[in-house]
Structure 1
Amino acid sequence: MNLCCAVVDNAPVVAVGADGQETVTGNSLKPLEEMDNLTDEMFNVITELDTCYSDMTLLEERRISDIKERLCILEEKVLIWDSDQLMTSDMDSEEIAKYLQAGDELRQLIEHLGNLQSSDKDGEQIELLNRSHSIMQMAMSRLEDVLVHLLVQHRQPVEPDHMSFHSTEEDIVTDYSSSSFDDESIDGEIQSDAGRDSEDFVIDLIHPSAISSLKSIAELMFQSNYDKECCQAYISVRKAELDECLAVLGMEKLGIEEILRMDWNVLSIKTKWWNRAMKVFIRVYLVSEKHLCDLILGNITRSETDYCFVESSRNSIMQLLNFGEAVAIGPPKPEKLFRILDMYECLNDLLVDVEALFPGEYGSSILTECHEVLLRLSESARGSFMEFKYAIRSNTSTTPFAGGRVHPLTKYVMNYIKALAVYGKTLDLLLEDLHENDQISAAEDDRRDTSVHSSPTAWHLLSVTSILESNLEVRSMLYQDGPLQNFFMMNNIYYMFQKVVDSDLQNFLGDEWIRAYKRKFRQHATSYERASWNPVLSFLKDEGICSRGSSTPSTTVLKERFKSFNLALEEVYRIQTAWFIPDVQLRDELRISISLKVLQAYRTFLGRYSVHLDGTRHRDRYIKYCPDDLERYLLDLFEGLPKSLQCPYWR
């Protein structure tokens, strides 16, 4: 186009912009040659501008030609390097770098085409842009495949060597948490999960040699406005890898209904796996996953990086939380309490880690879910504890427990609360607002040391011992034998006392409780001795030995006294050798106490009156036992093995 072409009424109407575009104002244009009123200076300026514009047009045409040529070269590179070639196992970082260079050059070329301004080349420019975008789409599709391939091909083993998670069956033992409250054959200690602390580890989930290429691919895809495709590919691969991590950690995918229908003995073991899996998954794998995400996508916007990490890990973390929720919403049972407390403490300890991993709006839903599951677990723990107390009250029987032994209920309850002492701080939080319908009796309440029993846990444990004692008193009434009632209470109160003295329970129940229960078991022991042995020893009293008005003992009375003593002794021996005191110290103390009373009375009576039976026919029928024999026989008591006395002989 000839720029110098028109003026109207001696006024130029052509204006040339710096960009080479002409702007026409005024009326109709005239050829420059027909304008006689132009000065030489004006003509020279216009001519120079025309020449400049022509040069610019030629330059732009040459530039478009160069772009076409370069585009052909780039298209050839993209088409030659197909996906299969790019994903061969021997592909190195240099090969990928060359492809990335071609992709980046294509991106810059598209940018340049978009910035060009040319009125008569618009059609060609649009055609070039469309063609460039088509080639770019092919290149990005191939890069997406490469990204996926590298993420899969260079993944590292999901279990770090220094944290072997495999466990033998012996590690997952069945304890009181897997036992029925009504199973009266239970004995032993409750075993709670140990080792709540866990270190954080960062491991290489992707081999370091692939990180640079992955990072470059992601950056180019984002710069080329293929950020969504890049994120989707990354999330898809990493999500599958984290699911695989859970499988390695022993967490299978289970629906809530499946978990609710599961036998508690099986579910109890799975909750142990859950505790361990949560710690390792969050503090090792998710920390490492976050690190990997930052390495690959860290140069991109923070929001995009957070989005990819959250979406990659959402499914797996929700799988773990769903398991926790399913366990929590099941019916409250005493045997569930320890596993629920373990789960609560585990998740509560991990909240800080979760908050650090999932900050901002993308992670808010996961944090909310964690708090919801924690709330469910706390409600389940409170419900299970109250069910435990109710079960003690309602656990009744119509038949006495054989031999006056320590009742399984006593063992269960005391071992149960002994294990609960480990969770004192957690229970203080959970039981703080929990009020009892049945309060401890006023007398028991008056004896409480408020400085010791100020915590909710201490108060509730104290109430458990009171409920248990009341239950035992009712059970003792099932014995027709009065001495056995006291013997049974002595055994069980002593067991309660010893469990507290030998454990952290004394820190909750306090010295006053210990002194009170020490008095109680001794009172029951004294009552037992009196009820059992006073009738036996009554035959060894001096009263009534001599006839009225005579100072000489009656042989007939002496025979009757010795005979009655022997029969009473043999009956007690026959019965009480079947009774059982499991604690050796208590058993020895009671035997010694009985021996002192019986032997002293027998030796005294024997020393005074045996001479009056000398020469009596069948003397050994009346004086059947010497003191040494008697002492030896008393050592057979409380072994739980019924015996009968054989007629001894004098040495």
Structure 2
Amino acid sequence: MTRKGMRIVLFRPPPFSSAPRTPSPHTSSPPLPDSILEENLEVAKSFLARWGPDSTTAVSLFQGDDRDEARQFIEVVKNLHAAMQCHASQDSSSDKLVRAHDLMSTAMERLQKEFSQILSVNREYLHPESVSRVQSPMTISARSSVSDFELKTEDEFGIANESISEVERVSMLAMADLKAIADCMISTGYGKECVKIYKTVRKSVIGESLYNLGIEKLSFSKVQKMDWDVLEIKIKSWFKGVKTALKSLFKGEKILCDHVFSASLPIRESCFAQISKAGATILFGFPELVAKYKKSPEKIFITLDLYEAIADLSTEINYIFSSTASSNVQSQVVSSQIKLGENIGTLITDFETSIQKESSKKPVPRGGVHPLTRYVMNYISFLSDYRGILNDILADWPLPTKLPMPESYYGTSKEEDSPITLHFAWLILVLLCKLDGKGEHYNNVALSYLFSANNLQYIVNKVRTSNLRFVLGGDWIEKHESKIKLYSSKYRRIGWSEVFSTLPADVKAEISPEEARESFRNFDRAFKETCRKQTSWIVPDQTLRDEIKISVAKELGALYGEFYAENRVRTGRVSESDPVVRLSPDDLGNYLSDLFYGSGSGSEGSVSSSTPSSHSSPFSAVF
């Protein structure tokens, strides 16, 4: 039969439809099923003689620019199958039906061979990343004339459009070929064979791609035996590859699978689930393995990063693995998040315990900021960067004690307080209670209050300059700033009490010259001795340092200034070389300027009586 004659047979309207055809009185009766089958047997036999699975006339039906032969082959198979169904309803044991089955098996062998070859030869062009680009909005308009990738030639694809790259062009053609074969095999009852070939090839693509992304299959025992440095490298590889794996690899694979097997929803969902199961389980099971690794407080941040990465990708995960067939992947994602959340909650509880168990008793030199304060506040401030996901996690973790939070510390609890607000406020309370105990180790009560002011100032500064300000709020900051002022006031009252006691209760009252001289001598001695002690003390925060010194200068300078004005002239001199009044009100500011830099010995030496100071003075407006 000539090709022209063959095309007449192949492309004529189907000889029957799903509904029985009623003969028209003006036309001849339709062909009988027996003659329909006979006709299609002849066409199929002739066509398969050239394109059977063992034929050496050509490498592939789907090769080169011309898809005409491939289209004809698929039409031959469909027509043969339709004729077989029609004939089987009349005579299921016919010899012709047996011959048709043999020819259909031969045709399916050829299509399976073509299907496998297209998948293998075009492996690079059918990489999920390439498929994702084909499905991008940029290329949709370029192929808008193509209806669902029907089997077409390159000319029919509109390949002349220069906006389509070579990779996209080859990908589009290969996808169209695969879909045409899959549609044919599924419609003729050979979908299982088609899917088997597809799964074998595409599983290896996913496995190879994950390996190239640095994501490998690891067992629980292997992870537990790893040094943290080694595991950390693998975690970094996971972070680097997870987005690509999900948004390019699995998404692209789903696009390809959905397209190739678009003829059957159950087949495409099942096929994609089986292809992706192993790789997706490796990808999303890794965070769970990390969550089960040996715990320490410092590992909480990388655990939070893992939790956040999964949460950020949840929309894509739910879309790609949305079918019931992919429920095992969904379960793995949920399991990893649960384990990570439990790990994070446990680490925060362990962190609180580590604060309570800190047992150092040696006072911090000079009343400065305790290392525990720095460590805890740095830790909590970093945690506050994850406040969104921590709110979700800590909602399932009650405060680790049943004792109510002191109202003097946090204020009245509000219903709208978030879980992270309550937990972080509690952690800081635990720290402050610990610091109160450490302040008792100072022999000097004034220094212990200065220690409390320094540490609370550091805490408040950390809150102000980090995301903790959004967690704890302005009321918390104001309440603790008032406590700093209280500690400063107690320091001033106790630390300078001996100096204040040298002045009369009423500095303007008239006293004898002898009493005035005695007060001046006592004031000079007490003031210099107090300055000598406190030059070794330290206030690291400049604002707090200036506030404390200014408050001392204002209170002490006002009293001494009035006493000085009333009694300086009447005291006279004991001798030319030994004046009674050695300090003027202006001198006080110069001495106070040297305080709280930690420069003195604190136990020996004396404060120089010279007025110049090496530090800039904030007291020019005070005296």
Q: Same fold (TM over 0.5)?
A: yes
User: Any idea what the Cα deviations from partners look like across 1:87-120, whole Å, max 9, x if unmatched?
Assistant: 99xx4242x6525644663675588689599999
**What CA distance in whole angstroms lies between the structure 2 residues aligned with 1:204 and 1:153?**
11
> Superposition pairs for residues 179-578 of structure 1, below 5 Å?
207-223=171-187, 225-247=189-211, 251-262=215-226, 274=238, 277-298=241-262, 300-348=263-311, 350-421=313-384, 423-424=386-387, 426-441=389-404, 443-444=406-407, 448-451=411-414, 454-501=417-464, 505=468, 508-509=471-472, 513-541=476-504, 551-553=512-514, 557=518, 561=522, 564-565=525-526, 567-576=528-537
Q: Given that residues 156 and 205 in structure 1 are in contact (C-alpha distance below 8 angstroms), is that contact kept between their aligned partners in structure 2? A: no
Moved more, 395-404 or 98-107: 98-107
Q: What SS class does the counterpart of residue 79 from structure 1 fall into?
A: coil
Indicate conservation of the 8 Å contact 1:205/1:288, yes or no. Answer: no
User: Deviations for 1:260-311, whole angstroms, at most 9, x for unmatched residues?
Assistant: 445557756765664565445434543333222222221x211111122222
Kindly tell me: are residues 599 and 247 of structure 1, through their superposed partners in 2, closer, same or farther at Cα, counting changes over 3 Å? farther
Q: CA 1:356/1:226 → structure 2, altered by over 3 Å: closer, same or farther?
A: same
Q: How far does the alpha carbon of each residue in 1:603-626 deviate from its partner, in whole angstroms, 9 at most, with x for none?
A: 455552476353615327x76655
What stretches of structure 2 of length at least 5 have no aligned partner? 1-31, 134-166, 613-623
| Corresponding residue number in structure 1 for 2:13 | none
From the superposition, tell whether residues 74 and 106 of structure 1 become closer, same or farther in structure 2 (CA, over 3 Å): farther
- 73-82 or 528-537: bigger deviation: 73-82
Determine the structure 1 residue equivalent to 2:55. 79
Q: Secondary structure at the match of 2:123?
A: helix
Asked if structure 2 preserves the Cα contact closer than 8 Å seen for 1:74 and 1:106, the reply is no
CA contact (8 A) 1:106 1:132 kept: no
Q: Secondary structure at the match of 1:152?
A: coil
State the Cα distance separating 1:560 from its structure 2 match. 5.0
CA deviations over 1:566-624 (Å, ceiling 9, x no partner): 65045224423xx1322x2211111211222344455455552476353615327x766
Residue 8 of structure 1 corresponds to none
Residue 616 of structure 1 corresponds to which residue in structure 2?
575
For the residues of structure 1 that align with 2:74 and 2:202, how far apart are their CA atoms? 25
Match of 2:148 in 1: none
Is the 1:158–1:248 Cα contact (8 Å) retained in structure 2? no
Partner of 2:543: 585
Secondary structure of 1:638 counterpart: coil
SS in 1 for 2:501: helix
Which one has the largest radius of gyration? 1
Once the two structures are superposed, residues 11-38 of structure 1 have per-residue CA deviations (whole angstroms, 9 ceiling, x without a partner) of xxxxxxxxxxxxxxxxxxxxxxxxxxxx
Instruction: Provide the C-alpha distance between the structure 2 equivalents of 1:426 and 1:570, rounded to a whole number of angstroms.
Output: 51
Give me the whole-angstrom Cα distance separating, in 1, the residues matched to 2:449 and 2:128.
Answer: 65
Q: Structure 2: which amino acid aligns with 1:145? A: S
Cα offset for 1:468? 1.2
**For residues 267 and 119 of structure 1, what CA distance do their matches in structure 2 show?**
65
The aligned residue for residue 120 of structure 2 is 149
Taking structure 1 as the reference length, the TM-score comes to 0.69
In structure 2, do the counterparts of structure 1 residues 225 and 503 end up closer, same or farther at CA, with 3 Å as the change threshold?
Answer: same
CA contact 1:452–1:510 (8 Å) conserved in 2: no
What is the rounded CA distance, in whole Å, between the counterparts of 2:168 and 2:92 in structure 1? 55
Once the two structures are superposed, the pairs formed by residues 45-84 of structure 1 within 5 Å of their partners are 66=42, 70=46, 73-74=49-50, 78-81=54-57
Please give the residue correspondences for 1:16-27 in structure 2 after superposition, counting only pairs within 5 Å: none
Q: CA deviation at 1:488?
A: 0.9
Alpha-carbon spacing, 1:623–1:233, altered in 2? closer, same or farther (3 Å): farther
Q: Is residue 517–residue 571 contact of structure 2 (8 Å, CA) maintained in 1? A: no
Relative to structure 1, the CA distance from residue 440 to residue 589 in structure 2 (aligned partners, 3 Å threshold; closer, same or farther) is: farther
Q: Which residue of 2 aligns with 1:633?
A: 591
SS of match in other structure, 1:207: helix
CA contact 2:203–2:276 (8 Å) conserved in 1? yes
**Cα 1:61/1:436, change in 2 over 3 Å:** closer
Letter in 2 for 1:227: G
Q: Which region of structure 1 is more displaced relative to structure 2, 348-357 or 313-322?
A: 348-357
Identity of aligned residues (%): 25
C-alpha spacing 1:148/1:213, structure 2 compared with 1 (3 Å): same
1:511, 1:103 → 2: CA distance? 74
**How far did residue 460 of structure 1 move?**
2.2
Per the alignment, residue 180 of structure 1 pairs with none
Count of aligned residue pairs for this structure pair: 538
Distance 1:446 1:348, change over 3 A: same
- Provide closer, same or farther for how the CA distance between residues 280 and 536 of structure 1 changes in structure 2, counting only shifts above 3 A: farther
SS at match of 1:434: coil
Seen in structure 2, the aligned counterparts of structure 1 residues 610 and 322 have a Cα distance that, compared at 3 Å, is farther
Q: Which moved more, 1:204-213 or 1:261-270?
A: 261-270
Name the TM-score, length of structure 2 as normaliser. Answer: 0.72
Amino acid of the structure 1 residue aligned with 2:251 = V
Task: Show CA shifts across 1:39-66 (max 9, x none).
Answer: xxxxxxxxxxxxxxxxx9x999997995
Q: Secondary structure at the match of 1:239?
A: helix
DSSP-derived class of the 1:397 partner: coil
Distance, in Å, in 2 between the alignment partners of 1:496 and 1:66 is: 91
**Letter in structure 2 aligned against 1:318:** T
Check the 8 A contact 1:100/1:217 in 2, yes or no.
Answer: no
| 1:98 lines up with 2:98 in the alignment | no
111-120 vs 334-343, which moves further: 111-120
Contact kept, 8 Å, 1:74 with 1:102, in 2: the verdict is no
Amino acid at match of 1:79: S
Question: Contact 2:355/2:431 (CA < 8 Å) preserved in 1?
Answer: yes
Q: Is the 8 A contact 1:489 1:524 kept in 2?
A: yes
Structure 1: gaps (5+ residues): 1-55, 162-202
Deviations 1:290-339 (A, max 9, x none): 222222221x2111111222222222221121111112223444333344
Looking at structure 2, the residues matched to 376 and 531 of structure 1 have their Cα atoms a distance apart, in angstroms, of: 53
Deviation at 1:465, TM superposition (A): 2.1
Give the Cα separation in 2 of the matches to 1:277 and 1:296: 27
Paired AA for residue 347 in structure 1: I
Name the stretch that deviates more: 464-473 or 632-641.
632-641
Q: Which moved more, 1:370-379 or 1:429-438?
A: 429-438
What is the distance in 2 between the residues matched to 1:513 and 1:269?
40
Moved more, 534-543 or 628-637: 534-543
Q: What amino acid sits opposite 2:179 in the alignment?
A: K
